[in-house]
Amino acid sequence: MVTDLVQIRHLAETDRSENLGFRRFLKEHHYPQGLFRRIAREVEKQIDCKSCANCCREPRVNVSRQDIATLARYLGMPPEQIIKEYTIVDREDQETILRQTQGACVFLDGNLCMVYEARPRACREFPYLARDQRSLGGRMSSVCRHASICPIIYNTLESYKHAIGYDRG
């Protein structure tokens, strides 16, 4: 199991073209998602997200009106204040996202989320691997894209390749 973030980033970036081929392979062969999800659950049990918190430093987090309302209740603030203090509008797609400060989510303190009980849906569901609620088919590209930042995703993806006998050559 690889957990060093520098090593994971290097390996995932090195495997970028391999992962593109892997995604194409999966589309052609239609492997059941159950095996992938079982592997993900096992990997999740072995990795403590609080020792990493890299996902809180890297990707953007979209927040919905419901997420803002939940944060407002949790922090005892009006939703307008949550929007003003903790979110920004992405210039490219005009989506509301959590503000980042010093290269991390505004709510991250060390490796701990200060609003964990009220965190946005995107944060609650990340890394999106073990849940059966959504199909992996169209999302495999985001799984591969996030492999460079998340030890759970990286190790699940590599274990799955091995389990189905994917030929890396």
pLDDT at 15: 87
Task: Provide the domain count of the chain.
Answer: 2
Does 99 share its domain with 142? no
What does pTM read for this prediction? 0.85
Range of the domain at 72: 65-119
Q: What is the pLDDT of residues 11-59, one digit of tens each?
A: 998 988 898 888 888 888 878 788 988 999 999 999 998 889 999 997 7
pLDDT digits (tens, 9 = 90+) for 121-142: 989 888 877 665 554 545 677 7
- The answer to whether residue 169 sits within a structural domain is no
Contact partners, residue 62, CB within 8 Å, separation at least 6: 95, 96, 97, 120, 122
Which residues are paired to 105 by β-bridges?
Answer: 100
Give pLDDT, residue 136: 53
Domain co-membership, 14 together with 51: yes
Q: Does some domain include residue 35?
A: yes
The answer to whether residue 70 is domain-embedded is yes
Residue 69 is assigned to a structural domain of this protein: yes
- C-beta neighbour count of 116 within 10 angstroms: 12
Q: Are residues 114 and 70 part of one domain?
A: yes
Report the C-alpha gap between 70 and 82 in whole angstroms.
10
Does some domain include residue 149? yes
Residues 51 and 11 in one domain: yes
Q: How far apart are CA 120 and CA 68, in angstroms?
A: 8
Both 70 and 105 in one domain: the answer is: yes
Residue 40 lies in a domain: yes
Q: What is the pLDDT of residue 167?
A: 81
In this structure, are 115 and 70 located in the same domain?
yes
Residue 98 falls within a domain, yes or no? Answer: yes
pLDDT in tens, 92-104: 899 999 999 999 9
135 and 111 within one domain: no
Q: Is residue 32 part of a domain?
A: yes
What is the rounded average pLDDT of the residues 146-169?
A: 90
Are 51 and 77 found together in one domain? no
- Say what the pLDDT of residue 128 is: 74
